[in-house]
Amino acid sequence: MTNNYIEIFSKLENGVRKQSGLTEDLFAKNFSKFKNIAFRDRSDQEYFQILKEIVFHSGFKAKIVNNKLNIINKHLPDYERIAGLSIARIEKIMSDSQMIRNRRKIDGIIKNAKSFKEIIARYATFQRYLESTGVCLTKNPKCSLCELQQKCNFYQNH
C-alpha cells in the first residue's frame, strides 16, 4: 500500500512542478518545505499559514498564488485577526486589485480561522491538539488532520 502512495505523490509532485512554471532549482527550494511535513513542533501561526496557503493553492496555479503571498499575508496576517474580520474589512480586501479576490476562499479562510481558534482554546496549542490524537502524521495517510478537514473548508468551493 505504501508504494501506491509514493507513486501517487510522485505523480502529483511532477504535475505541480510542470504547472508551477518555476525552474527545477526554484521549485525544489519552494516545494521542499511541503515535501516532508514531518511531525515536528511548529507555532500555531506556522500551522495556520500552511492551512491558509492550502486554501489559496487549491485550484489555482502555484505561480499565481506564490506571487501574491505577500498581499495575501498583508490582508490575512494571522488566525486571530482573520477570525474577527468585519464585513467592511472583507469588502476592502475584495476591492484590492492585487489580491486574489475569490470570496469563497476568503470566507473559507475566515471560517477556518474561527475553527482554529476554537481548537487553540480547547487544547492551548495546535501542536497539543495534534498530539492529543495519538496519530503519527508521517506514517498514516488518514492522520489527525482528517478531523480538521471535516471541520474546516480547506477545499470547499474552490
DSSP code for 97 = T
Which segment of 46-55, 85-94, 126-135, 144-153 scores lowest on mean pLDDT? 144-153
- What CATH superfamily classification does 40-151 receive? Hypothetical protein; domain 2 (1.10.340.30)
- What local confidence, expressed as pLDDT, does residue 27 receive? 81
Q: What is the pLDDT of residues 52-107, one digit of tens each?
A: 998 998 888 989 999 999 999 999 999 999 999 999 999 999 999 999 999 999 99
- What local confidence, expressed as pLDDT, does residue 128 receive? 84
**Vertex 48, ends 45 and 53: CA angle to 5°?**
125
- Reply yes or no on whether the pLDDT at 151 is more than 60: no
Q: Percent helix, strand, coil in the chain (nearest 5)?
A: 70, 0, 30
Q: Where is pLDDT greater, at 146 or 29?
A: 29
- Reply yes or no on whether the pLDDT at 142 is more than 60: no
Q: Which one-letter amino acid corresponds to residue 102?
A: N
- What local confidence, expressed as pLDDT, does residue 33 receive? 65
How much is the pTM? 0.65
- Side-chain-facing half-sphere of 29: CA atoms under 13 Å: 6
